[in-house]
Amino acid sequence: MFIHLGGDVVMPMKDVISIMDLEACSKSGITKEFLKTAEDEGFVKRISEDEPKSFILSEKDNKTVIYLSPISSITLYKRAGFIDNISLK
């Protein structure tokens, strides 16, 4: 099974480690530091020029890649089949 992360990026579900909401995670100093370090070391890839809403931690061929996606984590969870029915109120 594959998941569309936005733009022209599609990846096998087996490569996805985590789908995280960027706004919720940016409140954590540790997560901010993790993303900054990953970006400095070249592990972060922007999917589009749009404002990122989520980040996807993935591993392929023993290499870690973090994708910044303009698609919300909820939508990505639905695409992945992690949640079938969710109600946002």
Q: Residue 33 above 70 pLDDT?
A: yes
Place 28 in a pLDDT band, splitting at 50, 70 and 90.
confident
CA distances from 74 to 39, 61, 70 (A): 24, 27, 12
Q: What is the pLDDT of residue 84?
A: 57
CB 72 within 8 A of CB 21: yes
Determine which of 2-6, 22-26, 32-36 has the lowest per-residue pLDDT on average: 22-26
Q: Residue 23 above 70 pLDDT?
A: yes
Q: What is the pLDDT of residue 86?
A: 52
Percentage of the chain lying above the pLDDT 70 cut: 91
Tens of pLDDT, residues 55-83: 999 998 999 999 999 999 999 988 887 65
Q: How far apart are CA 76 and CA 49, in angstroms?
A: 18
Ordered by start, the domain boundaries in the chain are 2-80
Task: Taking the CA atoms of 37, 38, 44 and 50 in sequence, report the sign of the dihedral they define.
Answer: negative
